[in-house]
Amino acid sequence: MSDQPDLSVAVDVRYRPDHSRDGRWLFQYVITIENRADESWQVLAREWTITDGEGRVTQVAGEGVVGQTPVLAPGGVYVYDSFVTLQVAPGRMEGRYRVRNAWGHEAWAPIPPFVLALPDGVPGGDSGQGRVLN
């Protein structure tokens, strides 16, 4: 695979109390992928590492994102949302996208780590402040 492409990945996370209950905390995340390169890149696959508040690790991999394999032209932006559930919060997610340019060269674009934390005041919640997750 070639060098890392110039793709920016930003994540916005929201706790969803309307779909959560004790021991099943649901978090919605919105991903924004921006192509800052001078060539097009297509998102082929994703890999996630999800770590819960007790250090349990789950690996998730799949083709595309939300059933799509979007092509991002130079300057292009692709936004999608998805969700994850945790038995024990706070947790953490990070990952990477496998991408390909128009010449068939493949590379990995990192998804920065982000925290899945319950708001203060939620029973069983811990904001994750001052806590290191491995």
Transcribe the chain into DSSP letters.
--SPP-EEEEEEEEE-GGG-BTTBEEEEEEEEEEE-SSS-EEEEEEEEEEE-TT--EEEEEEESBTTB--EE-TT-EEEEEEEEEESSSSEEEEEEEEEEETTS-EEEEEEEEEEE-PPTTSTT----TT----
Phi, psi angles (nearest 5°) of residue 87: -80, -35
The better pLDDT of the pair 4, 89 is held by: 89
Q: What is the pLDDT of residues 66-91, one digit of tens each?
A: 999 999 999 999 999 999 999 999 99
Domains of the chain, CATH where assigned: 7-116 (2.60.40.1470)
Q: What is the pLDDT of residues 100-127, one digit of tens each?
A: 999 999 999 999 999 999 998 787 655 4
Distance CA 109, CA 78 (A): 14
Mean pLDDT of 9-13: 98
Of the chain, the percentage scoring pLDDT greater than 90 comes to 84
What's this model's pTM, rounded to 2 decimal places? 0.87
